[in-house]
Structure 1
Amino acid sequence: MTLKAQWYRDKLLKRSRKGFCGYPVATVAFYGPDDTRATKVSVAIIAEEGTDAGPVERWFCQTADARTDLEITEAIVRFIEQQGARSVVAVDRIIGCPHEEGIDYPEGETCPRCPFWSNRDRWSGEIIR
Protein backbone atom coordinates (compact mmCIF):
# COMPACT_ATOMS: atom_id res chain seq x y z
CA MET A 1 0.00 0.00 0.00
CA THR A 2 1.35 3.42 -0.92
CA LEU A 3 1.94 6.12 1.66
CA LYS A 4 -0.94 8.16 0.24
CA ALA A 5 -3.31 5.18 0.42
CA GLN A 6 -2.25 4.49 4.01
CA TRP A 7 -2.84 8.16 4.92
CA TYR A 8 -6.44 8.08 3.62
CA ARG A 9 -7.09 4.69 5.24
CA ASP A 10 -5.70 5.92 8.58
CA LYS A 11 -7.80 9.08 8.34
CA LEU A 12 -10.95 7.01 7.81
CA LEU A 13 -10.07 4.64 10.68
CA LYS A 14 -9.33 7.55 13.01
CA ARG A 15 -12.68 9.16 12.26
CA SER A 16 -14.54 5.88 12.87
CA ARG A 17 -12.70 5.21 16.16
CA LYS A 18 -13.76 8.57 17.62
CA GLY A 19 -17.25 7.24 18.21
CA PHE A 20 -20.44 9.26 18.00
CA CYS A 21 -19.71 12.99 17.64
CA GLY A 22 -23.17 14.03 16.46
CA TYR A 23 -25.09 14.15 13.21
CA PRO A 24 -24.70 13.87 10.28
CA VAL A 25 -23.38 10.30 10.54
CA ALA A 26 -21.59 8.53 7.67
CA THR A 27 -21.98 4.75 7.55
CA VAL A 28 -19.36 2.75 5.64
CA ALA A 29 -20.07 -0.86 4.63
CA PHE A 30 -18.03 -3.31 2.55
CA TYR A 31 -19.53 -6.09 0.42
CA GLY A 32 -18.00 -8.94 -1.55
CA PRO A 33 -18.67 -12.35 -3.09
CA ASP A 34 -17.11 -13.87 0.06
CA ASP A 35 -15.46 -12.65 3.25
CA THR A 36 -11.97 -12.25 1.78
CA ARG A 37 -12.31 -9.54 -0.90
CA ALA A 38 -14.52 -6.47 -0.94
CA THR A 39 -15.79 -5.53 -4.39
CA LYS A 40 -18.28 -2.85 -3.29
CA VAL A 41 -18.29 -0.05 -0.73
CA SER A 42 -21.45 1.78 0.22
CA VAL A 43 -21.38 5.04 2.18
CA ALA A 44 -24.61 6.58 3.40
CA ILE A 45 -25.15 9.85 5.19
CA ILE A 46 -27.78 10.04 7.93
CA ALA A 47 -28.58 13.70 8.51
CA GLU A 48 -30.33 13.33 11.86
CA GLU A 49 -31.79 10.73 14.18
CA GLY A 50 -34.83 8.94 12.80
CA THR A 51 -34.31 9.96 9.18
CA ASP A 52 -33.61 7.77 6.18
CA ALA A 53 -30.11 7.58 4.76
CA GLY A 54 -29.31 9.91 1.93
CA PRO A 55 -27.27 10.66 0.00
CA VAL A 56 -25.79 7.21 -0.64
CA GLU A 57 -22.67 6.68 -2.73
CA ARG A 58 -21.29 3.34 -3.95
CA TRP A 59 -17.90 2.37 -5.37
CA PHE A 60 -17.01 -0.89 -7.12
CA CYS A 61 -13.69 -2.67 -7.56
CA GLN A 62 -13.63 -5.90 -9.57
CA THR A 63 -9.89 -6.60 -9.75
CA ALA A 64 -8.57 -5.69 -6.29
CA ASP A 65 -9.91 -5.30 -2.76
CA ALA A 66 -11.96 -2.12 -2.36
CA ARG A 67 -10.76 -1.78 1.26
CA THR A 68 -7.20 -1.10 0.06
CA ASP A 69 -7.86 0.66 -3.25
CA LEU A 70 -6.35 4.17 -3.13
CA GLU A 71 -8.87 5.83 -5.43
CA ILE A 72 -11.84 4.37 -3.56
CA THR A 73 -10.46 5.19 -0.11
CA GLU A 74 -9.70 8.76 -1.19
CA ALA A 75 -13.20 9.10 -2.69
CA ILE A 76 -14.79 7.81 0.53
CA VAL A 77 -12.89 10.32 2.68
CA ARG A 78 -13.70 13.20 0.32
CA PHE A 79 -17.40 12.24 0.14
CA ILE A 80 -17.65 12.10 3.95
CA GLU A 81 -15.94 15.49 4.24
CA GLN A 82 -18.14 17.05 1.51
CA GLN A 83 -21.26 15.87 3.32
CA GLY A 84 -20.06 17.39 6.59
CA ALA A 85 -20.35 14.15 8.56
CA ARG A 86 -19.47 14.62 12.21
CA SER A 87 -19.43 10.87 12.98
CA VAL A 88 -18.29 7.86 10.97
CA VAL A 89 -19.51 4.32 11.59
CA ALA A 90 -17.62 1.61 9.73
CA VAL A 91 -17.83 -2.17 10.00
CA ASP A 92 -14.59 -4.12 10.39
CA ARG A 93 -15.60 -6.92 8.03
CA ILE A 94 -17.27 -7.62 4.72
CA ILE A 95 -20.96 -7.84 5.61
CA GLY A 96 -22.55 -9.47 2.61
CA CYS A 97 -23.03 -9.95 -1.08
CA PRO A 98 -22.42 -6.93 -3.35
CA HIS A 99 -25.60 -7.63 -5.33
CA GLU A 100 -28.86 -6.01 -4.29
CA GLU A 101 -32.00 -7.98 -3.48
CA GLY A 102 -34.87 -6.95 -5.73
CA ILE A 103 -32.49 -5.39 -8.23
CA ASP A 104 -29.89 -8.05 -9.09
CA TYR A 105 -31.97 -11.05 -7.97
CA PRO A 106 -35.59 -11.58 -6.80
CA GLU A 107 -36.82 -10.43 -3.37
CA GLY A 108 -36.72 -13.14 -0.71
CA GLU A 109 -34.18 -15.30 -2.54
CA THR A 110 -30.45 -15.71 -2.11
CA CYS A 111 -28.01 -14.34 -4.65
CA PRO A 112 -27.20 -17.02 -7.24
CA ARG A 113 -23.76 -15.43 -7.88
CA CYS A 114 -22.62 -15.40 -4.24
CA PRO A 115 -23.29 -18.83 -2.69
CA PHE A 116 -20.88 -18.03 0.18
CA TRP A 117 -23.53 -15.75 1.76
CA SER A 118 -26.57 -18.00 1.20
CA ASN A 119 -26.65 -19.53 4.73
CA ARG A 120 -24.38 -17.16 6.59
CA ASP A 121 -25.08 -14.47 9.17
CA ARG A 122 -23.62 -11.28 7.71
CA TRP A 123 -22.70 -9.82 11.11
CA SER A 124 -21.01 -12.82 12.76
CA GLY A 125 -19.89 -14.72 9.65
CA GLU A 126 -21.31 -17.92 11.17
CA ILE A 127 -23.30 -20.53 9.21
CA ILE A 128 -26.98 -20.28 10.26
CA ARG A 129 -28.45 -23.39 8.62
Structure 2
Amino acid sequence: MTFKAQWYRDKFAKKRGKGFCGYPVATVAFYGPDDTIATKVVVGIVAYEGADADPVERWFCKTTDPRTDPEVTEAIVRFIDQHGAKSVAAADRVIGCPHEEGIDYPEGEKCTQCPFWANRDRWSGEIMQ
Protein backbone atom coordinates (compact mmCIF):
# COMPACT_ATOMS: atom_id res chain seq x y z
CA MET A 1 0.00 0.00 0.00
CA THR A 2 1.30 3.41 -0.92
CA PHE A 3 1.90 6.11 1.65
CA LYS A 4 -0.95 8.17 0.16
CA ALA A 5 -3.37 5.23 0.32
CA GLN A 6 -2.40 4.51 3.94
CA TRP A 7 -2.82 8.17 4.84
CA TYR A 8 -6.42 8.25 3.52
CA ARG A 9 -7.21 4.92 5.16
CA ASP A 10 -5.90 6.20 8.52
CA LYS A 11 -7.74 9.51 8.13
CA PHE A 12 -11.04 7.70 7.46
CA ALA A 13 -10.48 5.37 10.45
CA LYS A 14 -9.71 8.35 12.70
CA LYS A 15 -12.84 10.26 11.61
CA ARG A 16 -14.93 7.13 12.08
CA GLY A 17 -13.51 6.39 15.51
CA LYS A 18 -14.15 9.81 17.07
CA GLY A 19 -17.86 9.23 17.65
CA PHE A 20 -20.46 11.97 17.48
CA CYS A 21 -18.87 15.40 17.24
CA GLY A 22 -21.89 17.30 15.92
CA TYR A 23 -23.61 17.92 12.60
CA PRO A 24 -23.24 17.52 9.71
CA VAL A 25 -22.84 13.73 9.99
CA ALA A 26 -21.50 11.57 7.17
CA THR A 27 -23.13 8.14 7.04
CA VAL A 28 -21.15 5.38 5.35
CA ALA A 29 -22.66 2.01 4.40
CA PHE A 30 -21.19 -0.92 2.48
CA TYR A 31 -23.32 -3.29 0.41
CA GLY A 32 -22.56 -6.55 -1.38
CA PRO A 33 -24.04 -9.77 -2.74
CA ASP A 34 -23.29 -11.45 0.62
CA ASP A 35 -21.68 -10.52 3.92
CA THR A 36 -18.11 -11.31 2.87
CA ILE A 37 -17.49 -8.81 0.05
CA ALA A 38 -18.70 -5.30 -0.61
CA THR A 39 -19.29 -4.06 -4.15
CA LYS A 40 -20.89 -0.71 -3.32
CA VAL A 41 -20.43 2.05 -0.77
CA VAL A 42 -22.92 4.83 -0.13
CA VAL A 43 -22.02 8.02 1.72
CA GLY A 44 -24.66 10.52 2.73
CA ILE A 45 -24.40 13.83 4.53
CA VAL A 46 -27.02 14.53 7.21
CA ALA A 47 -27.04 18.27 7.91
CA TYR A 48 -29.07 18.26 11.14
CA GLU A 49 -31.03 15.94 13.40
CA GLY A 50 -34.02 14.48 11.58
CA ALA A 51 -32.83 15.53 8.13
CA ASP A 52 -32.57 13.16 5.19
CA ALA A 53 -29.11 12.47 3.82
CA ASP A 54 -28.36 15.02 1.08
CA PRO A 55 -26.12 14.91 -0.83
CA VAL A 56 -25.61 11.17 -1.31
CA GLU A 57 -22.76 9.65 -3.30
CA ARG A 58 -22.34 6.03 -4.44
CA TRP A 59 -19.22 4.17 -5.53
CA PHE A 60 -19.27 0.76 -7.20
CA CYS A 61 -16.44 -1.77 -7.49
CA LYS A 62 -16.47 -4.78 -9.80
CA THR A 63 -13.00 -6.15 -9.13
CA THR A 64 -12.10 -4.84 -5.65
CA ASP A 65 -13.80 -4.43 -2.30
CA PRO A 66 -14.43 -0.71 -1.66
CA ARG A 67 -13.52 -1.21 2.02
CA THR A 68 -9.92 -1.82 0.96
CA ASP A 69 -9.73 0.06 -2.35
CA PRO A 70 -7.39 3.06 -1.89
CA GLU A 71 -9.04 5.13 -4.65
CA VAL A 72 -12.50 4.67 -3.14
CA THR A 73 -11.20 5.46 0.36
CA GLU A 74 -9.65 8.67 -0.95
CA ALA A 75 -12.90 9.61 -2.70
CA ILE A 76 -14.90 8.96 0.49
CA VAL A 77 -12.58 11.10 2.62
CA ARG A 78 -12.60 13.92 0.06
CA PHE A 79 -16.44 13.80 -0.14
CA ILE A 80 -16.74 13.92 3.67
CA ASP A 81 -14.26 16.80 3.90
CA GLN A 82 -15.88 18.69 1.00
CA HIS A 83 -19.21 18.69 2.85
CA GLY A 84 -17.74 19.64 6.22
CA ALA A 85 -18.93 16.60 8.15
CA LYS A 86 -18.01 16.83 11.84
CA SER A 87 -18.98 13.21 12.57
CA VAL A 88 -18.78 9.93 10.66
CA ALA A 89 -21.17 7.05 11.31
CA ALA A 90 -20.16 3.87 9.52
CA ALA A 91 -21.25 0.25 9.81
CA ASP A 92 -18.31 -2.07 10.39
CA ARG A 93 -19.57 -4.68 7.92
CA VAL A 94 -21.60 -5.26 4.76
CA ILE A 95 -25.21 -4.45 5.63
CA GLY A 96 -27.20 -5.57 2.62
CA CYS A 97 -27.71 -6.08 -1.08
CA PRO A 98 -26.12 -3.50 -3.41
CA HIS A 99 -29.26 -3.33 -5.57
CA GLU A 100 -31.91 -0.73 -4.83
CA GLU A 101 -35.57 -1.52 -4.33
CA GLY A 102 -37.70 0.31 -6.87
CA ILE A 103 -34.71 0.90 -9.12
CA ASP A 104 -33.02 -2.48 -9.66
CA TYR A 105 -36.04 -4.63 -8.68
CA PRO A 106 -39.73 -3.92 -7.94
CA GLU A 107 -40.87 -2.29 -4.70
CA GLY A 108 -41.87 -4.79 -2.02
CA GLU A 109 -40.04 -7.71 -3.63
CA LYS A 110 -36.71 -9.36 -2.86
CA CYS A 111 -33.67 -8.92 -5.07
CA THR A 112 -33.31 -11.97 -7.32
CA GLN A 113 -29.61 -11.23 -7.86
CA CYS A 114 -28.70 -11.50 -4.17
CA PRO A 115 -30.43 -14.54 -2.65
CA PHE A 116 -28.10 -14.36 0.38
CA TRP A 117 -30.03 -11.32 1.67
CA ALA A 118 -33.54 -12.60 0.78
CA ASN A 119 -34.46 -13.75 4.31
CA ARG A 120 -31.70 -12.14 6.34
CA ASP A 121 -31.78 -9.23 8.75
CA ARG A 122 -29.25 -6.78 7.33
CA TRP A 123 -28.26 -5.41 10.75
CA SER A 124 -27.73 -8.67 12.63
CA GLY A 125 -26.95 -10.92 9.67
CA GLU A 126 -29.30 -13.52 11.14
CA ILE A 127 -31.81 -15.43 9.04
CA MET A 128 -35.37 -14.25 9.73
CA GLN A 129 -38.15 -16.76 10.19
- SS for the counterpart of 1:58 is strand
> Aligned residue for 1:7?
7
Structure 2 residue aligned with 1:20: 20
Equivalents in 1 of 2:115, 2:6: separation in Å?
A: 32
Task: Give unmatched runs, 5+ long, in structure 1.
Answer: none
Distance in 2 separating the partners of 1:76 and 1:108: 30
Which consecutive aligned stretches of 4+ in structure 1 deviate over 6 angstroms post-superposition? none
**Residue correspondence of structure 1 range 23-38 to structure 2 within 5 A:** 23-38=23-38
Identity of aligned residues (%): 77
What is aligned with 1:108?
Answer: 108
Three-state SS of the structure 1 residue aligned to 2:59 is strand
Aligned-residue offset at 1:51? 1.2
Q: For residues 80-123 of structure 1, what are the alpha-carbon distances to aligned partners after superposition, in whole Å with 9 as ceiling and x for unaligned?
A: 00000000001000000000001000111110000000011101
TM-score (norm 1): 0.96
Question: What is the aligned length?
Answer: 129
Quote the RMSD (CA, aligned, Å).
Answer: 0.9
- What 5-or-longer segments of structure 2 have no aligned partner? none
TM-score, length basis structure 2 = 0.96
